[in-house]
Structure 1
Amino acid sequence: MDSSGDVRVVCLGEAMVVLRPEGGHPLAEATTLRRSVGGAEANVAGALAALGVGAAWVSRLGQDPFGDVVADDLAGRGVDVEVDRDPERPTGLYVKEPAPGGSRMHYYRAGSAAAAMDADLLDRPEVAAALASAQVVHTSGITAGILEEGSRLVTRLLALRDALGFRLSVDLNWRPALWAGRSIAPLLDLLRAADIVLLGADEARAALGADTPQGLRELLGERPRLVIKADSHAAGEHDPDGSATEVPALRVDVVEPVGAGDGFAAGYLAALVDGTGPVGRLRQGHLVAASVLAATGDHADPPTADVRARLLACSEEDWAATRVSAAGIDSPALPTSAKVSR
């Protein structure tokens, strides 16, 4: 797919095939595994496309059937897929094991094609064209964590940001296993260089030892806008000039939490490139995250444009009274009293 001239957000990072037991059976007892596609930046790219924002996903995949599955899935969802295919390294995968309180993940990504991303990936003509048209480039701490030693991907990305003028968005996406026995200095460098940092207060506390705007500002410096998600309670946007906006989270009947942070990032960034103000940005982040929380997969269809418009503009009282479930959205801000499809 080549629509780089329409790209407004570029997502840079891995994607994997996801396998989960059919019907929620324990993994050891399952006879059928359902296949899908996951990965932080791929989830964001797919959600952006579903929100009507031109999105490109840039990465490396194995020259294998799983690589075909990933590329076809994202392209079928409207994402501009720009990847190198590696004939020797495999496409990563992970298996979801149902467990009380949420799924347990088993990752098979060591030595994957995505781990070998390097500076040359960003200089491919199609990727360069997408970067030149993008308003935002989004990546995550997972990307920093999987890159092999000596990779110059991040160095080249920062140089291109300075040359082209796009904003760099980084989601912390803290994964302790990726940093076990290693310095997190590369992660800190990436966060400090970002224009927008998205992170949950709990993961920030675990990874960085700080979870307040002041503490994070002292650690990460004055450059990034901080978007801090306080568990399931609220999300706040904190700019370097000291201005701040907080929006409470929606009430959600949670089915599974995996992928909700990526949904929030996509909703927030879509509103950002559309020129929406801080309340609308945070509300749309919550809306897309809620849709993922109320579904079984790593991503879900976002609310329709009409529903989003009504909820982004509704009163604080109507926002507080809104509830999202697998059946849909129930809100006094919507045109009927019945639940409407997401």
Structure 2
Amino acid sequence: MVTFLPRLPGRLADVPSFDRAIGGAESNVACTLACTGHTTRWISRVGTDGFGDHLLTAIAECGVDVAHVRRDPLRPTGVYFRTAGDRATGTHEVAYYRAGSAASAMTADGLDAAALRAGRILHLSGITAALSADCLGLLRELTARRPGRPLLSFDVNYRPGLWRDTARARVLLDLARGADLVFVGDDEARDAWGLHGPRAIRRALPEPQLLVVKQGRAGATVFRRTGGPDFRRTGETDLRRTGEPDLRRTGETDLRRTGELDGRRDDATATFVPALNVDLVAATGAGDAFAAGFLSATLRGLPDRDRLRHGHLWAAAALTVPGDLATPPSRPQADRLAALDDTAWERLHLGPGWTDADVSGRRADEEVPTQ
């Protein structure tokens, strides 16, 4: 979608002008990953209007392959407007205009199946499932467990304004069960599914190999299922041979010793990493940045703790800018900060511009100051 960001705080009724930007969960993830050198492809559908032209140009300029995006001459490109406030507050407003949009007409038959399967990871969002019956059918097709598919990543991305009826939103739980890696906020799981806490969410979602539960300002927990097959071969790279971590690491909880998840013994570990202290500018886009950071570390075969830390660092980059997209930390900078000991990690306090700070001369145990 094209996003319109207010130039001033206040209600949509009162904001006189907006700045145009690009938005959309999947394209946000693709652009953020491309900024740090990963090869990414965005597959979608936009109109033949000027907004579609803008999206393709802007996303391509981020380094993303947009060759497989279809143009629809009969339907417009979706747009949305939002206020400047935090999405979690009652005053935040979002106005979506994408009923009948080009993206809402996506179908499994209308996309290039070979292009979808070509990557090591296929990342999807639950937002797509809310756009139309055709889009829901597309997500059902892509999350079906079939041999040879890439590692399937699914961000629940529950948006009440898109679902209206929470009973319908339970379809997101079914889609998540078909994924290998799932991202979900504990607030999303509570509002959409009536689930309370990471353990309850894991009991409802035992199928994914990795389940990441985001717990707001507290941090995030990743559950890893250790029984059964590990990540399948994806493309030319087998993640099991490129550094999938030893699961017996400090900071991980072995659920085989601490309890049961669903009435039977479940071979799983749980790793929790606290969130960073940041000077919040805007929360929009932080979830997509977190997913991108976690996926980047997954592609590199880093341990679960470091995957969560990279997610937190990339989210911190988004939290300290006004728009949906932020430049993530460089790989050396992120690796340096992710390697901090627990005390130094909890002492970090990041402000606007921190990804531009030259920390190359600092010791790994020193705090990165706010700007």
Q: 2:81 matched to 1:95?
A: yes
- Cα contact 1:117–1:151 (8 A) shared by 2: no
- In the superposition, the TM-score normalised over structure 2's length comes to 0.80
Tell me the residue number matched to 2:270: 244
Deviation at 1:218, TM superposition (A): 2.9
Deviation at 1:30, TM superposition (A): 4.4
Deviation at 1:214, TM superposition (A): 3.1
Deviation string 1:297-317 (CA, Å, 9 cap, x unpaired) is: 001001122211201212112
Q: Which consecutive residues of structure 1, in runs of 5 or more, have no partner in the other structure?
A: 1-15
Tell me the residue number matched to 2:2: 17
Distance 1:334 1:321 in 2: 18
Deviation string 1:56-100 (CA, Å, 9 cap, x unpaired) is: 111110111101111111000001112111111111101122347
Match of 2:37 among 52, 61, 71: 52
Deviation at 1:167, TM superposition (A): 1.1
SS of corresponding position for 1:152? helix
Q: Assess, with a 3 A threshold, how the Cα gap between structure 1 residues 54 and 175 changes in structure 2: closer, same or farther.
A: same
Q: 2:302 matched to 1:316?
A: no
Tell me the residue number matched to 1:211: 196
Match of 1:228 among 213, 223, 239: 213
Q: Assess, with a 3 A threshold, how the Cα gap between structure 1 residues 340 and 334 changes in structure 2: closer, same or farther.
A: farther
Tell me the residue number matched to 2:261: none
Q: Which consecutive residues of structure 2, in runs of 5 or more, have no partner in the other structure?
A: 226-266
- Cα contact 1:329–1:340 (8 A) shared by 2: no
Match of 1:115 among 99, 104, 112: 104
SS of corresponding position for 2:96? strand
Deviation at 1:20, TM superposition (A): 2.0
In terms of fraction of residues, the more strand-rich structure is 1
Deviation string 1:133-167 (CA, Å, 9 cap, x unpaired) is: 311111111111113358631243245x6232311
Match of 2:72 among 73, 79, 86: 86
Distance 1:151 1:25 in 2: 34
- Cα contact 2:105–2:134 (8 A) shared by 1: no
- Cα contact 1:44–1:263 (8 A) shared by 2: yes
Deviation at 1:334, TM superposition (A): 6.0
Match of 1:162 among 136, 146, 149: 146
- Cα contact 2:128–2:135 (8 A) shared by 1: no
Percent of aligned positions that are identical: 42
- Cα contact 2:153–2:180 (8 A) shared by 1: yes
SS of corresponding position for 1:269? helix
- Cα contact 2:211–2:222 (8 A) shared by 1: yes
Q: 2:106 matched to 1:106?
A: no
**Structure 1 vs Structure 2 CA RMSD:** 2.6
- In the superposition, the TM-score normalised over structure 1's length comes to 0.86
In terms of fraction of residues, the more helix-rich structure is 1
Distance 1:200 1:340 in 2: 28
Match of 1:173 among 133, 143, 157: 157
SS of corresponding position for 1:94? strand
Bigger drift between 312-321 and 267-276 goes to 312-321
